[in-house]
Amino acid sequence: MPENSRIADQLKRAFYGEAWSGPSVKEVLDGVTPQMAAREVVRGVHSIWELVHHIGAWVNIVRRRVNGETFTVTEAMNFPPVTDTSVAAWQTSLQLLEAAEAQLREAILQLPESRLDQPAVSGGDTVYVLLHGAVQHSLYHAGQIALLKKTLLS
């Protein structure tokens, strides 16, 4: 199996299940209501909803950097604000997260394997490191969401 297919598989596992580390992003989000997602469980700690936006943002940032875009990540890009806490807005946030993952996975599958060892952007990490970072970052925040969800349910 080509390496880019292996990386795409790891991303899919991180989002949809069978991740070696434990529950995937989608698994920990199962059963989270908009009210739960919007709630600040611990003062100064991001809400589940904010983490969903953050994961999606970084999946998009990685895709854009792999495609050669150079830009500065602003705070609004890093943690896009939650401005509407309706059921429809929660569903939209979840759909955008899934779309971001699908777009990055497709971009990974389209990459020539020779591109993996090249810098993602001028002077930055290699494409290989950046793509694995997207997987690791998503799972890191899945763990945070799992803890927040557990706190909300107790």
Q: What percent of the chain lies above the pLDDT cut of 90?
A: 90
Structure pTM? Answer: 0.95
Residue count of the chain, please give it: 154
pLDDT tens column, 42-79 = 999 999 999 999 999 999 999 999 998 989 999 999 99
Spans of all domains in the chain: 3-153
Question: For residue 120, is pLDDT > 90?
Answer: no
Structure tokens at 64: 């854009």
**Does domain 3-153 match CATH 3.90.550.10?**
no
User: Which neighbouring-strand residues pair with 61?
Assistant: none
d(CA 154, CA 115): 47
pLDDT tens column, 122-148 = 667 899 999 999 999 999 999 999 999
d(CA 122, CA 133): 17
User: At which residue do the structure tokens 């059963």 appear?
Assistant: 31
d(CA 54, CA 131): 16
d(CA 64, CA 104): 9
